[in-house]
Structure 1
Amino acid sequence: MTLADIAAAAGVSTATVSRVMNQKPGVKDSTRAVVMRALQAAGYEQPRQHFSKHVVAVLVPELSNPSFPQFAQELTQVLFAAGYSAIVCPVSQGGYSETQYLDMLLDSDLSGIISVSGASADSLASKAPYHRLQDARMPAVYINGSNESIDAPFFCSSDAAGIRLAVDHLRGLGHSRIGLAVGEPRYLPTSRKIEAFAALGFPEDESVVTTEYTADGGARAGRRLLQSGHTAVICGSDVMALGLMRDAERHGLRAPGDFSVVGYDDSPIMRLTNLTTVRQPVKTISEAAVSTLLRLIGGEEVPIEEQLFNPDLTIRQSTGTAPND
């Protein structure tokens, strides 16, 4: 009996029969059962299930930023609780690029992929690797990286809500000259932070400095903003904020007496610092992303949309009342 004969007997396409025979995801359980009955009637014996049947790849940027290992750890724990193992794939200079990982993973027998802050959030990056995922019907979800050209579920922390929290806090302490230090605007979370900041009445040309999401980037941006008369700075990451504080101390300035600074992410290690920071709801986002991915793996239809999750503000000792003029 040919593949076409089995497909006709099961009432499905030959592609669906092939996916069932190769234990690929993206087929409803009810459809898979019908195909297996047709295969068994034809004398087909199902091979032993590979271990990779219950493995999900988690793609994250470089691990030097503590917020990305936090996502990797939380996603790994949620997947484990659901009976899946995780392969963490860190993208870094000198190592595998995201495109190389995706091309390699497409040839594997993984159940699905979770991309965290990947090239889907980069307006200048090619989306072709993600389109190949779609064409291969590989179940995939994206965290903090929405893009309209990719038909997939997205789960993002609300940058607009985070900026509002930080600004409201600083204004409540009497600050009116507030600056924003962020990464390159080519990245969606950055552009959303800038838009939200400008919408609250701050002049972008005077109060926004774009740089790299690094300690050195935070130091350079903070120095420029503080020297131009800003009394408080909101940084796009905790690493940037710590770099700003360290550089300011070298120049005789300390938070919160001389200026205030707010970070962004609130990764667990920030509990050892005095940094006031916007906390991403990592656990909630991870649970929602994994839940949807498991539905995709099971062959269910899920909404192709972006879900936004509101962050919180963790107040520590890096913010205080505005200094007197």
Structure 2
Amino acid sequence: MVARLEEIAARAGVSVATASRALNNRPGVSEDARTRVLAAVDVLGYQRPDQLQSRRLSLVGVVVAELENPIFPLFAQAIEQTLPTFRLAALLATRRAGVAAEAASVELLREHGVSGIIFVSGVHSDPHADLEHYFALRENGVPLALINGPVAGLDATAVSTDDAAAAATAVRHLHSLGHRRIALVNGPVRYTPARRKSAGFAAAASAAGDVDAIELCGDYSLEWARGAAESAARDGVTGFVAASDFLALGAIQGARAAGRRVPQDVSVVGFDGSAMMNFTDPPLTTLRQPVQALASAAIRGLAADLEGNPHPRRELLFDAELVVRGSTSARIR
């Protein structure tokens, strides 16, 4: 029993003593801590004490992409920590790329009886993919919330970072530092976030009037970004806007492979804003996604659907925050 109590406490992020008091319905435990302990019991599959059965939380599935990119664990953590406020608990499923892999994750969640599903940067971000499983879920009465990629015609909550505005902010930042030959290191433009970044990048470069804008489109691997940035740096690019922090790290490597110094010769701006980017060499200037705001908005919409409360279906856009660190500086002419 002690080992089980330690596991519950660790999952809930509280002390063993607090977990014990919560499970024995004793005073001296905040409502937030009590809710997290009960959520941990549910997610771990343990039986609640009889006196707490009526407080059982509903399970919500959370589907995220691979956890190698640090932004996805941040989303998972924010969602898991916020759900108990709405008397919900998270059941997490990670997926590999592709429709079949995501559909398999959905099937697993359905087998565990989830009441609704939150998707983070999933297949829904590719409007050209087969999105039938989303519509099938809605036809079966399963509420959905989509983060970073709406689906046209789907009756679901949709919240996103304003990618176009973020890319434009990055261009204006580099332009203000004296950079005039600027490249966007982007992912495949079939994805909605990448397409929006492309549009924002082009619009800001055009508005500046004196920017030689270059768009580099490939995959989301560090290796591809390194090669593309090396070639661009040799071709005179001094400013890079990357569609993710991973791509930005590849761009830094590529600039250095071309014999350029960062930030003395080349400046690089990332996108996502994981705290880890404060410890790179140099610390990365980035557009920080409002992870907590996105998670909270997605959960609020999903909770409203679960309670049968109708709400507007327009996509909600949230601004990214420019965090200036050591990877950008004034261009030395």
State the TM-score, normalizing by the size of structure 1.
0.79
- Provide the C-alpha distance between the structure 1 equivalents of 2:53 and 2:168, rounded to a whole number of angstroms: 50
Displacement after TM superposition at 1:163 (Å): 1.0
Partner residue in 2 for 1:110: 114
Greater RCO, 1 or 2 (C-alpha within 8 Å, sep 6+): 1
Q: Report if the CA contact (8 A) 2:57-2:87 is conserved.
A: no
Question: In the TM superposition, what whole-angstrom CA distance separates every residue of 1:50-100 from its partner, at most 9, and x where no partner exists?
Answer: 998611111111111111111111111101333322111111269971111
2:273 alignment partner AA: D
1:61–1:92 CA contact under 8 A, matched in 2: yes
Aligned pairs for 1:1-325 (under 5 A) are 54-92=58-96, 97-201=101-205, 207-273=214-280, 274-324=283-333
SS, match of residue 309 in structure 2:
coil
Gap change, CA 1:102 and 1:51, over 3 Å in 2: farther
3-state SS, counterpart of residue 80 of structure 1: helix
Partner secondary structure for residue 205 of structure 2 = coil
Tell me if the contact between 2:181 and 2:211 (Cα under 8 Å) persists in the aligned partners: no
Deviation at 1:166, TM superposition (A): 0.7
Compared with structure 1, are the counterparts of its residues 71 and 118 closer, same or farther at alpha carbon in structure 2 (3 Å cutoff)? same
Distance 1:138 1:198, change over 3 A: same
1:158 shift after superposition: 0.1
Contact 1:180–1:208, Cα closer than 8 Å, also in 2: yes
Change in Cα spacing, 1:99 to 1:204, as seen in structure 2 (3 Å) is farther
Closer/same/farther in 2, CA of residues 205 and 261 from structure 1, 3 Å limit: closer
Change (3 A) 1:204 1:298: farther
TM-score, normalization by structure 2: 0.78
Q: Structure 1 residues 52, 102: closer, same or farther in 2, change over 3 A?
A: farther
Q: Which structure has the bigger radius of gyration? A: 1
* Mean CA deviation greater in 128-137 or 238-247: 238-247
Q: 1:304 is matched by which residue type in structure 2?
A: R
Does the CA-based 8 Å contact 1:156-1:306 persist in structure 2?
A: yes
- State how far apart, in whole Å, the 1-side matches of 2:224 and 2:56 are: 40
Change (3 A) 1:250 1:223: closer
Unpaired runs of 5+ in structure 1? 1-47
* Residue 124 of structure 1, CA deviation: 2.3
Q: Is the 8 A contact 2:172 2:204 kept in 1?
A: no
| 2:205–2:211 contact (8 Å) kept in structure 1 | no
User: Retained in 1: the 8 A contact 2:78–2:291?
Assistant: yes
> CA-to-partner distance for each residue in 1:169-213, whole Å, 9 max, x for gaps?
111111111110011011000011111111223599960010111
Where in structure 2 are there 5+ consecutive unaligned residues? 1-51
C-alpha displacement of 1:145 = 1.1
Query: CA 1:265 to 1:78, structure 2 compared with 1: closer, same or farther past 3 Å?
Result: same
Tell me which moved more, 80-89 or 120-129. 80-89
Aligned residues: 277
Summarize the Cα distance change of 1:154–1:205 in structure 2 as closer, same or farther, 3 Å threshold: farther
Q: Distance in 1 between matches of 2:98 and 2:132?
A: 22
Encode CA deviations 1:263-290: one digit per residue, 9 max, x unaligned: 0001121122210000111111111111
TM-fit CA distance, 1:136: 0.6
Residue identity matched to 1:135: E
> Within 1, Cα distance between the matches of 2:89 and 2:306?
14
RMSD: 2.5
